Amino acid sequence: MAPKAELLPGTLDLLILKAVSLGPLHGYGVLLRIQQISAGALLIEQGALYPALYRLEEQHLLASEWGTSENNRRAKYYRLTRQGEKRLRDETQGWNRLVAAMSAVLGSSPKEA
Amino acid sequence: MALTSIFDRLFRRSRLDRDLEEEIRSHLAERAADLQRSGIAEAEAARRARLEFGGIENYKEKCRETRRFHLLHGFLEDLRFGWRMLCRAPGVSLLALLCLTVGIGANAAVWSWIEGILLRPFPAVAHQERMMAIAGTHRGTTGEADPDLSWPEFLDLQRSCTLFDAFIVDKITGTTLGIGDHAERATGSIVSSNYFDALGVHPILGRGFLPAEDAGRNSHPVTVISYRLWKDRFHGDPAIIGKTQRLEGVPHTIVGVAPEGFNGTFVGWAIQFWVPVSMQETFDSTGYKLEDRSSRWIEGFVMLKPGVTQEQAQSQVTAVATRLAAAYPATNRARDITLFPLWKTPFNNARTLLPTLGIALAVVVFVLLIACANVSNLLLARGVARRHEMTVRLAVGAKRGRLLRQLLTEALVLSTLAVAAGLLFGYWCRNLLALLLPSRGGLTMSLPGELDWRVLAVSAAVCLIATALFGAVPAIQASHVDLAGAIKAESASVVGGRRRGLARWSLVLLQVALSFVLLVGAGLLLQSLRNLQNISPGFSTRVLTTWVDLKSAGYDQQRAEDFEDQLIDRIQAVPGVQSAAFAQTVPFGYRSYSSAPVAIEGYPTAPDERPTLEFNQVGPGYLATMGIPVLSGREFTRADNEAAPPVAVVNQAMAAQYWRGRDPVGSRFQVNGRWLRVVGVAKDSKYRSLTEPPTPFFYVPTRQSTGGLVLNIRTSLPPQAMALTLAREIHSLDENLAPGEVITMGEQVARTMAFQRVALNMLTVFSLLALLLAAIGMYGVMSYTVSQSRRELGLRMALGAGPRDLLRLVLSHGLTLTAAGVALGAAVALGSSRLLGYLLYHVSPRDPVAFASALLVMMMAALAACLLPAWRAARIDPVRALRG
């Protein structure tokens, strides 16, 4: 099994936005989806999810409503707002630019420098 | 963010908590179920789920924090805490509250007067924001040469102006209403027929006036009565419409009852009945004026059309005035017509009260400042007591900004409470102004304050400003505790730090300065009132005056004359009465004198000079009764009647101006086309106000004109006794007649000075209040200083200073401070006492007596405030002080 990576600061919000963009989820569902997409490579403390969800809702990037889970439990479902979609697009582009720049730097060989 | 969601967050925290609780429970249950599915036992799965989740309470708190609407929530917490702190020191809080209540309450009261008297004086009128006063002015001058309008001018304006919804005639008048065994004056108004419709005031019974009732000389004796008159005099008779009431001797049909709360449109008076313009002559002893362009008697108002500005309306009115000036040069040359906002209305009490209210406003702002300084000082003292609390809070990591905010919130709690109490105070003071004015013989004065949302808004603003003023200094000081220094110095301090001391002393300095300014103002007004009272009116102030209204009682000329002769004979037979005489108008009365253009024989007039003089119609022996000396010739006798040749008595000023020093006795002048022979010259006296210059004036006999109303009696009897005797004598002549109020001429004169008196009373009350507040402030600072410097004082004593030296030390401290404050105050007073303006008579705004007495009073107060702390200082036991 590959070693688990600690999250970079600030990336949790982006992961949540991405997870929720695929369809409304309750808190535990967000956690499962992130683990599923990343194939369990990202380590998230479960409780830390909630302050992040509340913060995103406060910023009007997420909206929530109560519903019923697959297991017939009352659960709060989060979905992406229009502002959230825009933020996800912007952040994804920013992230990709960063990754490209970082890989360019890290992938360069001494000769080219 | 929507307001509702803020509310949600503030007040439904528990729901948020429940939601959060349930969300986490549901997460844990889902996780545990997943774990169970992978084969873990139920209890172990629940334990693992909780463990993986992490610190539940910690995360919950983080969620709550993101959810809180921080600022507002913190504010509510501060509010609660502030309230608890105020309750912890109830003495200080109450004193502070009292000071602030006085300051804010006085402001609320004065603002309510300004609102109710100047800005929105007619609350029953539908659109008073579109209402303006209209008056004649003299082109090229700022003063109003002749503020009234004539009826033809009025009609011209009405015909030619399109920007107005209505032009309204309003002319205050009066009559007598007999009620039981006494007669009372009633205030009425002559109004145009559109009056009620234009104002949007709908009679509760009957109707307003009809357009036809404007025209036809004395042909529409109809009246609308006020709600109060209907209730008081007619006992709320529901079938009142169609009944008749005698007004000025003419039976009038009551056609309507005005709604409750509508007092007419004359600031200061509650109008009790209204009659249409066509009845002008009946209510005006000076003649029929509806066809005369030069007879100006209308006090007009206009209603602008919605959206029309004052400038647009004014230019239209000016165009009409210009046209009239060209068309009628004899009467309208150089005459302009001007619109005035209601608070500048040139013809009612708005104008007389404007300066008084202006001064009142300045004064209450001063009082508020002084109160704020006091509260500020109280809070500073408490800030020292709470330094320990602040130090601890800072030490455990509270931010200074947070402390500052909390202290300001405490101040806000104080001032909010004070605003509530102050508004109550203002509510009680609403009608105070009318009470401060002397009564006017049963006439109802109406000077209501108006506590509407504007006044509330102003009070709220005052509250915020006050909070900033008195809260800021202590808050900044308290939140700037020097941590290390404060803990070290906690027990050993001598005086509470240089900067804190400085702030406290400057606040007292400010208080002293402001109170000094107010004292100077009161002194100046007192001086000027005394000067006014020292002016001789030119007649005896001990003469009694009253009135008997024969015209209203339906007497014709002949019956009235017989009655007057009989009554005079009877009164003069009463022991203690020297003489009595009737006259048309009493000097210094509200009723205006008759006036007429005159032509003097042998006095050539310039082509554009039209001397118009005022005159009074007086009975035999009037001048002797009033104590006005006859300088040459004689005064009227009973022989000067209809059958005798017309005569007149002129005053000194008229003789000097038109006969140039020659004795006019024997010469003639023409009045209203009738030649009068001068039979005497009377000494000048004052006719309307004590400050008027000598004015040409003449007298004609009542028998040769319309008759008397006012009865003057020269007697040694007091007014009350005379009133009873007079009522008895009148009753024995006519059961249905009664005299009006009996007062001295001195009282009659004093009533014209009512506004100066109100200003003086107000300034005196407030400056004494300010003095008291300043003295309390000084006492507080001095006794605090003494208690803080016990060690220092004890040391001085141990080194050989006697109680006397310590007494002197503390007193000189206080008096130096006072002297500095007085110097500052004197500078301000010299700059600002001109604001008293016309209320000052023959007093320089720099009057040394006023300044000296203010200084004396201030020093006495300061001495009184310092004496107790100084005495305490002198009694310090050095041993105990140094040990403690």
Which of A46, A62, A69 is most worth mutating to test chain B (most B CB atoms within 10 A of its CB)? A46
Q: Which of residues 29-58 of A touch B (CB under 8 A)?
A: 45-48, 50-51, 54-55, 58
pLDDT for position B545: 92
Average pLDDT across chain A, whole number:
82
Residues B461 and B477 in one domain: yes
pLDDT in tens, B81-113: 778 777 777 777 888 888 888 888 888 888 888
> Closest Cα partner for B580 from B394, B722, B472?
B722
Contact in structure between B364 and B107 (CB atoms under 8 Å): yes
Give me the residue from A46, A54, A73 closest to B26, CB to CB.
Answer: A73
B406/B297: higher pLDDT: B297
pLDDT, average across residues B378-382:
76
| Residue B325 in domain | no
Beta-carbon separation of B63 and A75 below 8 A: no
Residues B804 and B710 in one domain: no
Of A30-34, B366-370, B787-791, B846-850, least confident by mean pLDDT is B787-791
pLDDT, average across residues B319-330:
89
Q: Is A65 an 8 Å CB contact of chain B?
A: no
Q: Is B30 an 8 Å CB contact of chain A?
A: yes
Q: What is the pTM of this model?
A: 0.69
Cα angle, residue B36 at apex, residues B30 and B42 outer, rounded to 5°: 100
How many CB atoms are closer than 10 A to CB B544? 25
Helix (H) or strand (E) holding B814: helix B803-832
Q: B803 — alpha (psi -120 to 50), left (phi > 0) or beta?
A: alpha
Residues B699 and B835 in one domain: no
Contacts of A76 in chain B (CB under 8 A): 19, 22-23, 26
Among B712, B739, B766, identify where a domain stops. Answer: B739
Residues B690 and B577 in one domain: yes
Name the token pair of B285: 């002893």
| Residue A25, min C-alpha distance to chain B (Å) | 12
Helix (H) or strand (E) holding B830: helix B803-832
pLDDT, average across residues B799-826:
87
Beta-carbon separation of A76 and B30 below 8 A: no
Residues B511 and B633 in one domain: no
pLDDT for position B494: 38
Beta-carbon separation of A47 and B59 below 8 A: yes
Name the token pair of B657: 């101006």
Beta-carbon separation of B30 and A71 below 8 A: yes
**pLDDT exceeding 90 applies to what percent of chain B?**
24
Mapping DSSP onto H, E and C, the string for B410-479 reads: HHHHHHHHHHHHHHHHHHHHCCHHHHHCCCECCECEECCCCCCHHHHHHHHHHHHHHHHHHHHHHHHHHH
C-alpha distances in Å from residue B470, one per residue of B403, B462, B568, B773: 16, 12, 68, 14
Give me the residue from A46, A54, A74 closest to B26, CB to CB.
Answer: A74
> Closest Cα partner for B111 from B394, B362, B345, B331?
B362
pLDDT for position B220: 93
pLDDT at B269 over 70: yes
Residues B241 and B386 in one domain: no
Q: Which pairing describes strands A5-6 and A42-43: parallel, antiparallel, or unpaired?
A: parallel
Contacts of A58 in chain B (CB under 8 A): 66-67
pLDDT for position B496: 39
3-class secondary-structure state, position B601: coil
Residues B555 and B516 in one domain: no
pLDDT at B491 over 80: no
pLDDT, average across residues B532-559:
85
Q: Is B26 an 8 Å CB contact of chain A?
A: yes
Residues B478 and B507 in one domain: no
**A77 Cβ partners below 8 Å, 6+ apart?**
A24, A25, A26, A64, A65, A66, A67
ipTM of the complex: 0.87
Beta-bridge partners for B612: B597
Residues B587 and B734 in one domain: yes
A54/A3: higher pLDDT: A54
Give DSSP secondary structure letters for B253-306: EEEEEPPTT---SSTEE---EEEEGGGHHHH-TT---TT-TT---BEEEEEEPT
> What is the chain B residue with the closest CA to A43?
B52
**Residue ranges of the domains in chain A?**
5-106
Beta-bridge partners for B188: B173, B273
Q: Is B24 an 8 Å CB contact of chain A?
A: yes
Side-chain half-sphere CA neighbours of B105 within 13 A: 20
CA distance B133 to B310: 11
Residues B156 and B284 in one domain: yes
Contact in structure between B519 and B854 (CB atoms under 8 Å): yes
Beta-carbon separation of B26 and A55 below 8 A: no
| Residue A96, min C-alpha distance to chain B (Å) | 29
Helix (H) or strand (E) holding B648: strand B647-651
pLDDT at B441 over 60: no
Q: Is A81 an 8 Å CB contact of chain B?
A: no
CA distance B648 to B679: 6
Q: What is the CATH T-level fold of the domain A5-106, as seen in this structure?
A: Arc Repressor Mutant, subunit A (1.10.10)
| Residue A44, min C-alpha distance to chain B (Å) | 10
pLDDT in tens, B141-172: 544 456 788 999 999 999 999 999 999 999 88
Cα angle, residue B497 at apex, residues B495 and B501 outer, rounded to 5°: 80
| Residue B99 in domain | yes
**B452 Cβ partners below 8 Å, 6+ apart?**
B115, B120
B477/B238: higher pLDDT: B238
Output the furthest CA–CA distance in chain B (Å, rounded).
139
Helices (H), chain A: 11-21, 27-37, 49-58, 82-107
pLDDT, average across residues A9-15:
80
B562/A41: higher pLDDT: B562
Domain of residue B292, residue span: 148-308
> What is the chain B residue with the closest CA to A53?
B63
Which of B9, B19, B25, B27 is most worth mutating to test chain A (most A CB atoms within 10 A of its CB)? B27
Q: Is B59 an 8 Å CB contact of chain A?
A: yes
pLDDT at B871 over 80: yes
Contact in structure between B547 and B591 (CB atoms under 8 Å): no
Beta-carbon separation of A74 and B22 below 8 A: yes
Give DSSP secondary structure letters for B4-57: HHHHHHHH-HHHHHHHHHHHHHHHHHHHHHHHHHTT--HHHHHHHHHHHH--HH
Average pLDDT across chain B, whole number:
82
3-class secondary-structure state, position B606: coil
pLDDT for position B225: 94
Residues B793 and B877 in one domain: yes
> What is the chain B residue with the closest CA to A32?
B31
Q: In this structure, what DSSP letter does residue B149 have?
A: B
pLDDT in tens, B31-66: 888 888 888 888 888 888 888 888 888 888 777 777
Give me the residue from B19, B22, B53 closest to A47, CB to CB.
Answer: B53
The total number of structural domains that make up chain B: 5
Give me the residue from A27, A54, A58 closest to B27, CB to CB.
Answer: A27
pLDDT at B206 over 70: yes
Which of B16, B18, B20, B30 is most worth mutating to test chain A (most A CB atoms within 10 A of its CB)? B30
Contact in structure between B550 and B707 (CB atoms under 8 Å): yes
Where residue B320 falls among pLDDT bands split at 50, 70, 90? very high
pLDDT for position B443: 58
| Residue B319 in domain | no
Which of B84-98, B514-528, B573-587, B594-608 is predicted most confidently? B573-587
Contacts of B26 in chain A (CB under 8 A): 26-28, 69, 73-76
B537/B68: higher pLDDT: B537
Q: B332 — alpha (psi -120 to 50), left (phi > 0) or beta?
A: alpha
pLDDT at B3 over 60: no
Output the furthest CA–CA distance in chain A (Å, rounded).
62
pLDDT at B301 over 50: yes
Of A29-33, A92-96, B777-781, least confident by mean pLDDT is B777-781
CA distance B784 to A99: 69
CA distance B405 to B75: 8
Contact in structure between B765 and B362 (CB atoms under 8 Å): no
C-alpha distances in Å from residue B771, one per residue of B151, B273, B288, B466, B513: 54, 46, 57, 19, 10
pLDDT at B590 over 80: no
| Residue B410, min C-alpha distance to chain A (Å) | 30
| Residue B745 in domain | no
| Residue B326 in domain | no
Residues B587 and B487 in one domain: no
* Residue B604 backbone dihedrals phi, psi, to 5 degrees: -70, 130
pLDDT in tens, B686-734: 998 887 888 899 999 988 877 677 889 999 889 889 988 998 898 888 8
**B863 Cβ partners below 8 Å, 6+ apart?**
B811, B814, B815
CA distance B230 to B811: 66
Taking CB atoms within 8 Å and a gap of at least 24, the contacts of B594-599 are B594/B285, B594/B286, B594/B705, B595/B286, B596/B671, B596/B672, B597/B671, B597/B672, B598/B669, B598/B670, B598/B671, B599/B669, B599/B670
C-alpha distances in Å from residue B477, one per residue of A70, B399, B481, B499: 61, 15, 7, 8
Where residue B1 falls among pLDDT bands split at 50, 70, 90? very low
